[in-house]
Amino acid sequence: HQGLRERAHERKEELQQKANEETQVRGRPVRRGDIFKIVGLAAFVGIISLVSWLVWPYIHMMFEPGGIDQVIESVRDAGPMGFLILLALQFLQIVVAFIPGEATQMAAGMLYGPWIGGLVILLGSILSSAFVFMVVHRLGAPFVKDMVSEKWMDKFERFEKSGKLELIVFVLFLIPGMPKDIFTYLVPLTDMRMRTFLLLSNIGRIPGILVSTYAADGLIDGRFAESAVLFAVAAVIAVLGIVFQKRIMKFLEKRSHRDK
């Protein structure tokens, strides 16, 4: 692990040196890193705007009374395109984070059942997490500071220094009620490699995805009591995760510092 961190650190320094190199734009010296950041930010905004425009009718439905049922009916009518619509909704759910994660998971379970629906949601999570990782890794901390409070950035910096970042990331994505979308923007600021992050974070998401899609499928299949119990248990655990969020973070900080 130490060797990987050293190589990652060397790679980061090499990229930083290249970013600080200057080039001429209309006769004026400009850092290559600044050019890349402007282009990257424009591409990020463009992609999000395009995806949002394409799926806006479905997003709008989700916030109306009976919205999930309307989305399900519309996606079913779309045929094979329904998979792409669901992927796009899940993509926006993580990248923009204004769509409730449970809503897309329930829709997936009702549409395609717990296994195929869960697989679509997991694939969407992997693609969106990889997209965010690449954007943040290139644009750096200033890009994230506009969306995430500095206290969260400080916490992850301490997690990284503790040498327990991998374990902590897995635990945080496993616990319901934690702000996983915020973590998706913070981890790329550390030395963790993208494939490690994608593996740990999305394995941590699997239990929650399966519970939501299975319970939603039960509503369609007539297993109302079973679904009610699953939703109740998931809701209680999520509420506990939200209520004890600060305590969980403090515990992880103390434990990582102690192990160090």
Least confident segment among 74-78, 114-118, 165-169: 74-78
Distance CA 94, CA 31 (A): 31
What does the pLDDT read at residue 199?
96
What does the pLDDT read at residue 123?
94
pLDDT at 11 over 70: no
* pLDDT range class, residue 251, cuts 50, 70, 90: confident
pLDDT tens for each residue of 191-210: 899 999 999 999 999 999 99
Rounded average pLDDT over 219-233? 86
* pLDDT range class, residue 19, cuts 50, 70, 90: very low
Say if residues 129 and 197 touch (Cβ distance below 8 Å).
Answer: yes
Distance CA 60, CA 67 (A): 8
pLDDT tens for each residue of 85-120: 888 888 888 887 656 677 788 888 888 889 999 999
What does the pLDDT read at residue 169?
92
What does the pLDDT read at residue 125?
93
Rounded average pLDDT over 37-63? 68
User: Taking the CB of residue 239, how many other CB atoms lie within 10 A of it?
Assistant: 12
* pLDDT range class, residue 248, cuts 50, 70, 90: confident
pLDDT at 173 over 90: yes
C-alpha distance from residue 216 to each of 60, 67, 234 (Å): 21, 15, 12
Q: What is the DSSP letter of 22?
A: E
Average pLDDT, the chain: 78
